[in-house]
Structure 1
Amino acid sequence: MQTLLAKTAARLADDRGDVPGWVLITLMTAGLVLLIWGVAGPALTGVFEQAIERVSSF
């Protein structure tokens, strides 16, 4: 009968990981960033330009 510590050590030694899962998470995150950037980009650009104008007008 293995102890909990031995089972945990065996799991940690197996470093194969879940590559397809991480690839999916990475692609989904990149997609969300592009989508949000596409929607909010012009608004954020306008806010930034207004802030720069207010600071540089003094």
Structure 2
Amino acid sequence: MTTRTRTTLAARLRTRTAQIALTDDRGDVPGWVLVTLMTAGLVVAIWAVAGPALTNMFTTALAGVTGP
């Protein structure tokens, strides 16, 4: 392989690497959307199960502080 061929291949590789870097700049958006939706789903599910107990605990604590 000649020096000129190596230089040409290196230039093409740099150009292709730059093109890939420019087109792949959006990050992992679908992954973050999935994580956000799953977290929201977990919060809703836990709130549905623990909501009444938390409300009762808060009401009892508030009644204990303020008096009857």
* CA distance in 1 between partners of 2:26 and 2:43 (Å): 28
Q: Report the residue type matching 1:39 in the other structure.
A: V
* CA distance in 2 between partners of 1:37 and 1:23 (Å): 21
Q: CA RMSD, aligned part only?
A: 1.8
Task: Work out whether 1:28 is the aligned partner of 2:38.
Answer: yes
* Structure 1 residue ranges, 4+ long, deviating more than 4 angstroms after superposition: none
Residues 1-58 of structure 1 aligned to structure 2 (within 5 Å): 15-57=25-67
Q: Matched residue pairs, number?
A: 46
Task: Answer 1 or 2: which has greater helix percent.
Answer: 2
* CA distance in 1 between partners of 2:32 and 2:25 (Å): 13
Deviation track 1:1-58 (CA, whole Å, cap 9, x = no partner) reads: xxxxxxxxxx8xx641101100000000000000000000100000000000001117
**TM-score of the superposition, structure 2-length normalised?**
0.62
Percent of matched pairs sharing the same residue? 67
| Structure 1 unpaired stretches of 5+ | 1-10
Aligned to 1:4: none
